[in-house]
């Protein structure tokens, strides 16, 4: 199965700098010429930014960008006038998020995967809803859950991240819970959201694997979490136009499968069969297929070429209601697994 993870471009720096007047005088011709000297640095920065993908972060490139940021900012500080100041402000916003791109990126990716995970994350994760959508509540969660978050970081992240979050926790909380007013260009709020979407894409993969094994019961406490993951992933997909149509469709299939699984008797029957492993040697229609092997290729056979046989077994073992939605469900399984 191909990865759902979303290769997002981190920046598209817009340095067209349309901002409210700053109260500074307009730049004079001489100052504009001096400003022009800074342009190559900004362009070099943009050059890096156009190739930077969230799942292929290059630490050397990030270091180079940080250096360029400092140099360009110094260059733009020479003249205190409007155009120069606008450029500087826009650049600073882009530079501001570089802090998150190295080690903290890995750390936050693991953190978000963990918050989405349906298998026993640290207990305090249940107390603070770090995935809350309403920003004021999200802020509350990160403020009240500070020790929960920092304990996680201490246990699972590298030293750079531990230092970073202990020094910048309040800034991090602001960045994650305050949406800046200007929507164009890049900013830490958007970047952190992208990290969450990326981690979610990865974690959904893991959850699908659980489903593949068809070992879940409909009362499984993991299922509501999976449904939340799906909804959030759909939000991510609509937010990031760069996610391919194919992946968007896959997200749709996955979510509709989760919904059906939620509904009941089919799921309970497969869980029962997979648990009890009754002897199925009488079923000639299996033609040698090992019903209990949950490898991808085997599950694919069960939902495609052997699906009538699968249906008969389920009907015999669990009764008619277990196969009411059978055709719909196996079709979705086949689509999600790209059988
Ligand atoms: C970073 O900058 C150095 C010096 O300009 C250059 O040699 C190197 O190739 C750059 N690294 C990347 C990843 O672009
Ligand atoms: C810690 O650092 C190593 C090596 O740089 C990296 O591969 C790993 O992803 C990092 N882990 C976290 C959680 O940041
Ligand atoms: C956004 O604009 C509103 C109203 O002008 C202002 O109150 C608020 O502080 C601004 N938020 C940010 C993050 O700048
Ligand atoms: C789910 O239901 C089955 C039987 O219907 C029961 O044995 C199992 O304990 C239940 N699991 C949970 C988590 O409630």
Any domain includes 79: yes
The stretch 258-266 carries a mean pLDDT of 74
216 pLDDT higher than 70: no
Q: Give yes or no: residues 140 and 50 share one domain.
A: no
Query: 314, 309, 327: which is closest to 274 by C-alpha?
Result: 314
Q: What is the pLDDT of residue 210?
A: 66
Q: What is the pLDDT of residue 3?
A: 45
Q: What is the pLDDT of residue 1?
A: 37
| Pocket test residue of 219, 270, 271 for ligand 4, highest count of atoms within 8 A of CB | 219
Which ligand does the CA of 217 lie closest to?
4
The stretch 70-94 carries a mean pLDDT of 87
Q: Give yes or no: residues 65 and 89 share one domain.
A: yes
Any domain includes 198: no
Range of the domain at 263: 213-339
pLDDT tens for each residue of 149-195:
999 999 999 999 999 999 999 999 999 999 988 766 678 898 899 89
Count of the separate structural domains present in the chain: 3
Which atom belonging to ligand 1 lies closest to the Cα atom of 48? Answer: 14
Any domain includes 204: no
Query: Measured from the CB, is residue 66 less than 6 Å from ligand 1?
Result: no
**How far apart (Å, rounded) are the C-alpha atoms in residues 153 and 147?**
10
Q: Give yes or no: residues 80 and 165 share one domain.
A: no
Query: Measured from the CB, is residue 217 less than 6 Å from ligand 4?
Result: yes
Q: What is the pLDDT of residue 21?
A: 58
Q: What is the pLDDT of residue 215?
A: 61
> Which residue lies with its CA nearest to atom 13 of ligand 1?
61
Any domain includes 217: yes
Q: Give yes or no: residues 311 and 260 share one domain.
A: yes
Query: Measured from the CB, is residue 219 less than 6 Å from ligand 4?
Result: yes
104 pLDDT higher than 80: yes
Which atom belonging to ligand 1 lies closest to the Cα atom of 64? Answer: 1
The stretch 261-270 carries a mean pLDDT of 78
**How far apart (Å, rounded) are the C-alpha atoms in residues 86 and 91?**
9
Q: Give yes or no: residues 217 and 308 share one domain.
A: yes
The residue from 142, 165, 193 where one domain ends is 193
Which atom belonging to ligand 3 lies closest to the Cα atom of 181? Answer: 1
């Amino acid at each position: 199965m191909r990865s759902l993870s979303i290769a997002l471009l981190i920046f598209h720096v817009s340095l067209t700098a349309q901002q409210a007047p700053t109260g500074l005088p307009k730049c004079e011709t001489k100052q504009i010429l001096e400003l022009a000297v800074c342009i190559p640095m900004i362009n070099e920065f943009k050059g890096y930014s156009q190739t930077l993908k969230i799942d292929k972060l290059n630490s050397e490139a990030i270091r180079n960008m940080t250096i360029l940021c400092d140099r360009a900012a110094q260059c733009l500080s020479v003249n205190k006038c409007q155009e120069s100041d606008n450029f500087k402000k826009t650049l600073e916003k882009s530079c501001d998020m570089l802090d998150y791109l190295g080690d903290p990126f890995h750390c936050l990716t693991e953190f978000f995967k963990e918050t989405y995970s349906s298998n026993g994350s640290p207990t305090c994760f249940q107390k603070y809803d770090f995935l809350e959508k309403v920003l004021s509540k999200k802020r509350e969660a990160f403020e009240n859950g500070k020790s929960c978050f920092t304990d996680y970081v201490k246990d699972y992240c590298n030293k750079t991240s531990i230092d970073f979050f202990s020094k910048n926790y309040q800034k991090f909380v602001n960045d994650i819970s305050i949406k800046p007013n200007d929507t164009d260009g890049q900013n830490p709020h958007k970047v952190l959201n992208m990290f969450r979407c990326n981690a979610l894409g990865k974690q959904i993969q893991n959850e699908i694997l659980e489903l593949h094994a068809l070992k879940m019961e409909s009362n499984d406490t993991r299922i509501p979490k999976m449904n939340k993951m799906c909804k959030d992933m759909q939000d991510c997909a609509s937010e990031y136009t760069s996610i391919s149509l194919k992946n968007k469709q896959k997200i749709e299939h996955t979510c509709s499968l989760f919904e059906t699984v939620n509904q009941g008797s089919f799921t309970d029957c497969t869980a029962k069969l997979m648990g009890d492993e009754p002897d199925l040697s009488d079923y000639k229609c299996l033609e040698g297929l090992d019903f209990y092997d949950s490898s991808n290729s085997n599950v694919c056979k069960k939902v495609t070429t052997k699906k009538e046989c699968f249906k008969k077994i389920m009907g015999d073992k669990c009764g008619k209601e277990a196969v009411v939605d059978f055709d719909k469900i196996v079709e979705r399984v086949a689509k999600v697994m790209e059988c």
